[in-house]
Amino acid sequence: MKLITIAKCALLGLALSAMPLQAQNKVNDSTKFFSLSRLTVGGYGEAVYTRNFYSDNMFRYSHAERYKDAKGHGRVDIPHVVINLGYDFGKGWTMGTEIEFEHGGNEVALELEAEETGEFEHEIERGGEVALEQFWIQKSFSKAINIRLGHIVVPVGQTNYAHLPTEFFTCYRPEGEFTILPCTWHETGISLWGKLGNWRYEAVLVPALNSNMFNNANWVKNGSASGFEFRVANRLAGALRIDNYSIKNFHWGLSGYIGNTFNNDAVTNEFSETSPYKDVKGTVIIGTAEFDYKGHGLVVRGNFDYGHLGDASLISSWNKNQNHQSFSPYPRSLVGESAIACGAEVAYDIFHTMKRTGDHKLYLFGRYDYYDSYIPTANALTDYQWTDRHVMTLGVNYYPIKQVVIKADFAKRFLKEQYNDEPMFSLGVAYSGFFTR
């Protein structure tokens, strides 16, 4: 710890020495109110190799018989690398940020081609995303009352509440919730949260989802996305979460979300009195329940999520018939009236009964997921039955230390009989922790 403090001071000294004297004086004045002991630095990251023993062709569901004997494909991925920075200003005021690099981030280059016509060429070396997942200022009045303003996580569902790679056993985030809900779901808004004894509550007010981004494969997952430099907020939504820790080693939680999603886009539409879309709201209602138990070397988790979309038929018709340009981000897809995801996993640390293993843990686990991202309305003309899936996973997690885990799992998706099942093997490594205290 002394070495870390010395290193911080040395870095601060180097930065000051490179500044003009007048700037140094200003910084020296500001550092009277700055303490390195109030700064927190942390993060998490994952790297995964996967071998999928099925076809990745875009027609593998519409013409499943053609791809029955496909050899499969392999891929490597960096799902998430996150840097956390926080600071305690004192008097109850704190700040938190989280910068996330998904799938390696964006690698874009501008090159001058000497061998061709001397033109500049814009190259994309790797696809990916860089996102400011959290940026908030918080005022804490007591343990029971805290107000957080800024870019925050919407704590709906088990994965959004506990999304660190050391908080689930599979190499990738649990498949059901990750498919139908935004994950990690982050929006700019306001949160009121607190702890009362063994209870924790959180209520948030954020922009509503955008129904133009809904589709059959992911239900409302992409509704939090925005192709613009701003997030449209013509409609607001609310979420509420309650957690209880009364029983030793056991936790359960409930969460919910409600918001109107139709016409919540950068270009709003005015509808005539005779338009079928005049009174469409596209109300999304989501309810989730979850639990987890950790004790005596055993970990058991479970979750259930159900969501309903009002006016689903009209929204599907609207999305399908939009005359968007070819570069439009909208999927122009049908969307289900409902979606469901449930899952459970059981793990046991086989080192638990051994002596002198220190922080070493070796979990053997099994997981089951069921989810359907497209449950159509009763009168729907199209039913995408490939969205109805069961997933069985068996694997192992090895923790050489508390903050680092090496993962391996074999999973198989079971689809309706007219489709091909989808087996896969994944191997990953991840870390999660704080670098300062």
User: What's residue 3's pLDDT?
Assistant: 44
DSSP percent split of the chain into helix, strand, coil, nearest 5: 15, 45, 35
Query: Residue 294: which region, alpha, beta or left (left: phi > 0; alpha: psi -120 to 50)?
Result: beta
Phi/psi of residue 32, each to 5°? -60, -25
CA distance 180 to 219: 5
Task: Report pLDDT for 324.
Answer: 58
Using an 8 Å Cβ cutoff, are 86 and 39 in contact? yes
Residue in this structure with the two tokens 């814009």, named with its chain if needed = 122
Cα 222 from Cα 210, distance rounded (Å): 8
Picking from 354, 37, 305, the residue whose alpha carbon sits closest to that of residue 181 is: 305
DSSP state letters, 381-426: S---GGGEEEEEEEEEEEEEETTEEEEEEEEEEE--TTS--EEEEE
CB distance 413 to 395 below 8 Å: no
Please answer whether residues 369 and 394 qualify as being in contact, where contact means their C-beta atoms are separated by less than 8 angstroms: no
Helix axes 2-17, 21-30, angle to 10 degrees: 140
pLDDT one digit per residue (tens) for the chain, 437 residues = 444 444 444 444 544 455 555 544 554 554 556 788 899 999 999 999 999 999 998 899 989 999 998 889 999 999 999 999 999 999 999 999 999 988 877 665 555 554 445 555 555 556 667 888 899 999 999 999 999 999 999 999 999 999 999 999 999 999 999 999 999 999 999 999 999 999 999 999 999 999 999 999 999 999 998 877 788 899 999 999 999 999 999 999 999 999 999 999 888 888 888 899 999 999 999 999 999 999 999 999 999 999 999 999 999 999 888 765 555 677 888 999 999 999 999 999 999 988 666 779 999 999 999 999 999 988 877 889 999 999 999 999 999 999 999 999 999 999 999 999 999 999 999 999 988 86
The pLDDT score that the predictor gives to residue 126 is 61
Determine the pLDDT at residue 131.
82
Please provide the DSSP assignment of 315-357 as one string.
HHHHHHH----TT---------SEEEEEEEEEEEETTTTSSS-
Q: What is the spatial distance between Cα 129 and Cα 151, in angstroms, rounded to a whole number?
A: 17
Alpha carbons 325 and 12: distance in angstroms, whole number = 51
Please state whether the predicted TM-score (pTM) of the whole model is above 0.85: yes
Could you give the domains of the chain? 1-34 (no CATH), 38-91+143-434 (2.40.160.10)
Tokens matching residue 295: 């004790």
Distances (CA, A) of 178 to 183, 220, 285, 291, 308: 6, 11, 17, 17, 17
